[in-house]
Copies of this chain bind each other. A is one copy, B any other.
Amino acid sequence: MIISILVLEGPYNHEASDSAYNFIQAALAKGHAIRGIFFYDDGVYNVTRLMDPPQDDRHISRRWSELGATGIDMVVCIAAAKRRGITNEVLAPNIRISGLGQLASMIHESDRIVTFGD
């Protein structure tokens, strides 16, 4: 099955990012394809390369970048990102900023979309 993921909340503050990540790992382990991950609402905060959590905790933007490096399309909504101050200046690697049309495309090209939020 081809799956896309919508993440609506920021890292650390809500469990949404962690649930999405754990779900994606399980889906990949079962051989499913992830068409894309779309970050919207406060979800746009997931992708700043400036985050610097305690050494013994997970590094959420780095995890997303690593998934992006495997070829999964990682997209941040430009409108939601602009008002919140997430720009190319702070964007982590292997993630791109684009429009909501990319979410529509992900839906078109996926069997399922799963939303994680608050």
Q: Measuring CB to CB, which residues of chain A are less than 8 angstroms from any residue of chain B? A: 10-13, 41-42, 45, 48-54, 57, 61, 82-87, 89-90
Shortest beta-carbon distance from A39 to chain B in Å: 13
State A13–B41 Cα separation when bound (angstroms): 7
B52, A83: Cβ atoms under 8 Å?
yes
Copies in the complex: 2
Contacts of A12 in B (CB 8 A): 83-84
- The prevalent SS among residues of A at the interface is loop
Q: Is the CB of A85 within 8 A of B52?
A: yes
* A90 and B84 form a contact (CB under 8 A): no
Chain B residue with the shortest CB-CB distance to A12: B83
Shortest CB distance A7–B (Å):
14
